[in-house]
Amino acid sequence: MANSESQPSGDDLPTVSKSASTPPTSAVSTVDEPASMRDLQREAARGTSELPRLQRTTVIAYLVAIAAGGLYALFVFNPHNGGQTVPYILLVLAEIILLGNQVVMILTILAGDRGGDSGEDRRVVQDARRQLLAKTWTPTIDVFIPTYGEPIEAVALTARAARDMRVGHRTVICDDADDPAIRRLADRMGVDYLTRSDNAGAKAGNLNNALRLSEAEFVVIFDADHVPGPNFLEVALPHFVDQRVAFVQTPQSYSNRNASPVAEASHESQRVFYDLICPGKDAYNSVFSVGTNLIYRRAAIDDVNGLFEDTNSEDIWTSIRLHQRGWSTVYLPVVLAEGLAPETVHDYLNQQFRWARGAFEILLQGRPWRLRGLTRDQRIQYMQPALHYLQSFAVLFFMLLPPMFLVFYIQPLRVDGIGWLLRYAPFWLLTQLAIYYQLGRLHAYSYAMAIVAVPVHIRAFFSALFRRKYGWVVTNRDGRLPSVISYMPIQIALIAAFLTAFAVGLIPLSSSFPTVISLVLCLVYAFALIVVVRRAIGDGRRDRAASRSSRSEPAPVEASVP
Amino acid sequence: MSTPTSRQTDQASRQTHQATRQTGQTKVEGSGAARADRTELALSAESDKWSERPHYRPRPRFRSLLLLLALLAVCALVAITQIRRRLDNRDHLNVSQVVLTADPIIIESASNGRVIDVPVAKGSKVAAGATLALVEYDGIDGPKQVEVTAPAEGVITDVWAVPGVGLLSGSDLVSMYEPAKLYFKVPMTYGDAATIDMGSAAEFDVPGVGKVEAVVSGVLPDFGEAGTKKEERLAQLVARLKDPTKLVGAVPGVIVDGTVDKNAADASQPKVLFGAGA
């Protein structure tokens, strides 16, 4: 897979010692940092693999889910079962998206379960870690924190944590907003500060600017609201012992997940991605960079002429180029940094829009199915994010079916609701069950948030299709929230539509069981939307109250910085 | 994920949690401080930077508001029309494709023989007992002439008997219908039919005649056919004319619209699907 001509020479890397079988305790005894020692022991106790093992129940649930999905597909795609023509065709399209996404997702997740296969790699990584801790391998490391108007206290927290990571490195705040407060903060904390005259290329441009001014072998990137633990470098860096590795990505985890149900929902949906999907992507050597909590090998970035700038999803585009050039990538499923999830509905939708837009750009403009230099698996994996967000089209269609039935008697299938439910329920329940088995919980609010994000994803699709301009905005930015009507008009209208359908459905021309199911579904959807819209209204109220109180009693900034 | 991994993860998150909690306290003061910095910045020459920041702006508020109002208006419109239609349909059903139907009476030969004379033609009106045909049946003691008569007052629809032609027992001679027994066949779903009482009033708009009153008298049985789709099966509700003389002369097969009440004046009437036959 690796293109040997494009690889850097390995002179600067530690040679793997022959004493690989030496017990870790004796090998690490020379290390003078007891904390690292503990980390190592803990890591050693994790067994032969650094990748999480899928539970057997999860695997079985997924295998049965594939069978149930197949049976359901046989039923739905049989034209004999079709009802009215246009709704049936739409239903088939929606099912292709849903089933296609589920198949890709299940295959990815199952591929992520590699059991003990990577034991060999791990010994090498452990040796490299020992050399790193023993300071016999001393790579140069730069830690970049790109900022652009994020709240100063978040930047301070990240910069301090980045500065205090073990293993020698330099920390640089790359401030695109040229904020004197951030500059003072950097001075006080003893980290470097970098700004530039323009904002060309947004975040990627900012980082490329920093890369030009740095000569470090390894570049670590943390968004301003992602706080690394002190062990970040020790755990992640040794994976670069494999010369083909271009970057090591670690998961995003949210420390503020208890701050609001919105943050909790973000956290839960992120877990599906980082705990289940990413290990599978790693198995296909197609993990993409998510732009934070990762280490790049400088030679790799140089090999693709810097981070890709002409987009807002620079991280994925850069990953594609790296994979095209034959580099390999590592996903490390260990939480080494804690970030901030969006706490308000507005910020959540904004983030969803950005991510969906990035994923659709890859699909529509990147055309992963014909990218040169990628394996077929990698091409599929680069389509997976877009496929995930495309599901929103299908979800919208399925959400609108009950009201359409109640009001206009539209039926895409010839069978009644029960006949459909009996065939669909096993498949849906099994996929949810598998997630429950693996992650330990299902979070109702996440489902509500997913429903609310549907119109946003659809908008992101058309925005990417017509290449509309839009800038980059930080997730937890300061400042007043706009009115709920301005960012959730469709969601509010959907509530009205569901309630209307419910009212109309109460006067049925002929009442039957499908009518009852549809009535219940309408109420459930309306309820989910109302809960989130109410939350958004509350966000706005809290935001106004906060900005009033902060105006009345300003506090000195020095207090918040050590 | 194996237990030791999550333990380490937990520990890492706990560390950061503590860190966040510490700053969480300062955050309250700090957020004000950040704003103070901003006001300071706004006074400086670089203040333009903030306003120039490119960012994803939600749609301008008035456009969102218009969109929302338009969507709400659509909802309201659909609700009003649909609810009104359904309330309308609550007591009666609007029906269409109703067929004015006559049951054919086919007069057959009772025995072998031959036709001697046919005094009626297609379309002629006959009184009850009027001669339709004169036939000669073969008997043990030689041929016997018999007059075939009309069983009721009616209209001749077909004449197959031709003078001089031989007959077998059961050969069709003449077909006719009784105008006094015309009825309306109302196609509707079985679901709708189940809501209608026996004896409910119905009203149909017959071209050239005007409103004609009828009474629901049952449902024609449908034994179905192999391969008939469920939703293509329709109940054929039967509504008999209240005043049969009103439609004397009307041509069966005419397709009309009308309404059928759901409830009969007599509350003891069963629903059509379970009531007496047509």
| pLDDT beyond 50 at B40 | no
Phi first, then psi: give them for residue A75, nearest 5 degrees. Answer: -75, -50
Query: ipTM of this complex > 0.90?
Result: no
Record: contact A157-B83, CB cut-off 8 A: no
Rounded to an integer, what distance in angstroms lies between the CA atom of residue A516 and that of residue A64? 30
How far is A170 from chain B, CA to nearest CA, in Å?
21
How far is A86 from chain B, CA to nearest CA, in Å?
17
- In angstroms, the Cα distances linking A286 to A307, A357, B221 are 17, 20, 65
Rounded to an integer, what distance in angstroms lies between the CA atom of residue A430 and that of residue A69? 10
Contacts of B137-141 with CB under 8 Å at 24 or more apart are: B137/B110, B137/B111, B137/B112, B137/B113, B138/B111, B138/B112, B138/B113, B139/B111
* Helix, strand, or coil (residue A398): helix
Q: Which pLDDT does position A479 carry in this prediction?
A: 57
Rounded to an integer, what distance in angstroms lies between the CA atom of residue B151 and that of residue B7? 97
Q: Which of B15, B65, B192 sits opposite A485 (nearest CB)?
A: B65
Which of B:194-213 have CB within 8 Å of A? 194-195
How far is A162 from chain B, CA to nearest CA, in Å?
12
Q: Looking at the complex, does the CB of residue A550 fall below 8 Å from at least one CB of chain B?
A: yes
Q: Looking at the complex, does the CB of residue A4 fall below 8 Å from at least one CB of chain B?
A: no
Q: Which of A507, A551, A555 sits opposite B87 (nearest CB)?
A: A507
User: For B143-184, what is each residue's pLDDT tens digit?
Assistant: 888 899 999 988 998 999 899 888 888 889 999 998 888 899
For residue A338, list chain B residues with Cβ-Cβ distance below 8 A: 12-13, 16-17, 20
Number of neighbouring beta carbons within 10 Å of residue B66? 13
Q: Which pLDDT does position A481 carry in this prediction?
A: 75
Q: Looking at the complex, does the CB of residue A497 fall below 8 Å from at least one CB of chain B?
A: yes
Q: Looking at the complex, does the CB of residue B19 fall below 8 Å from at least one CB of chain A?
A: yes
Residues 6+ apart with CB under 8 A from B25: none
How far is A1 from chain B, CA to nearest CA, in Å?
28
For residue A490, list chain B residues with Cβ-Cβ distance below 8 A: 67, 71
Q: Looking at the complex, does the CB of residue B90 fall below 8 Å from at least one CB of chain A?
A: yes
Q: Which of B17, B34, B189 sits opposite A151 (nearest CB)?
A: B34
**Which residues of chain A are under the pLDDT cut of 50?**
1-33, 46-50, 116, 118-119, 471-478, 554-562
Q: Which of B1, B65, B191 sits opposite A512 (nearest CB)?
A: B191
Record: contact B12-A275, CB cut-off 8 A: no
Q: Which residues of B75-90 are buried (b: 16+ CB within 10 A; e: fewer)?
A: beebbeebbeebeebe
Nearest to B216 by CA among B195, B230, B232, B231: B195
Q: Which pLDDT does position B27 carry in this prediction?
A: 33
For residue A253, list chain B residues with Cβ-Cβ distance below 8 A: 9, 13
How far is A238 from chain B, CA to nearest CA, in Å?
18
Active site members of A: 176, 315
Record: contact B230-A504, CB cut-off 8 A: no
Helix axes A119-133, A34-44, angle to 10 degrees: 180
- State the count of interchain CB pairs (< 8 A) between A and B: 206
Q: Which residue has the tokens 């999830």?
A: A341
Helix axes A261-271, A444-465, angle to 10 degrees: 70
Q: Which pLDDT does position B24 carry in this prediction?
A: 36
Q: Which pLDDT does position A416 carry in this prediction?
A: 65
For residue A162, list chain B residues with Cβ-Cβ distance below 8 A: none
Rounded to an integer, what distance in angstroms lies between the CA atom of residue A315 and that of residue A309? 9
Q: Looking at the complex, does the CB of residue A37 fall below 8 Å from at least one CB of chain B?
A: no
User: For A419-446, what is each residue's pLDDT tens digit?
Assistant: 777 888 888 888 888 777 776 677 888 8
For residue B50, list chain A residues with Cβ-Cβ distance below 8 A: 149, 177
Q: Looking at the complex, does the CB of residue A441 fall below 8 Å from at least one CB of chain B?
A: no
**DSSP H helix total and E strand total for chain A:** 20, 10
Record: contact A470-B56, CB cut-off 8 A: yes
Nearest to B87 by CA among A3, A503, A431, A129: A503
Q: Which of B30, B44, B83 sits opposite A557 (nearest CB)?
A: B30
Residue B184 CA from chain centroid, whole number: 16
Highest mean pLDDT among A155-169, A441-455, B213-227, B250-264: A155-169
Spatial contact of B173 and B151, defined as CB atoms under 8 Å apart: no
For residue B87, list chain A residues with Cβ-Cβ distance below 8 A: 507
What string of DSSP letters covers A414-427? SS-HHHHHHHHHHH
Q: Alpha helix (H) ranges present in A440-488?
A: 444-465, 484-487
- CA dihedral sign, ordered B184, B187, B190, B195: negative
User: For B41-72, what is each residue's pLDDT tens digit?
Assistant: 333 333 333 333 334 444 556 788 898 999 99
The model carries a pTM of: 0.71
Q: Looking at the complex, does the CB of residue A560 fall below 8 Å from at least one CB of chain B?
A: yes
Record: contact A490-B67, CB cut-off 8 A: yes
| Average pLDDT of the residues in B120-137 | 89
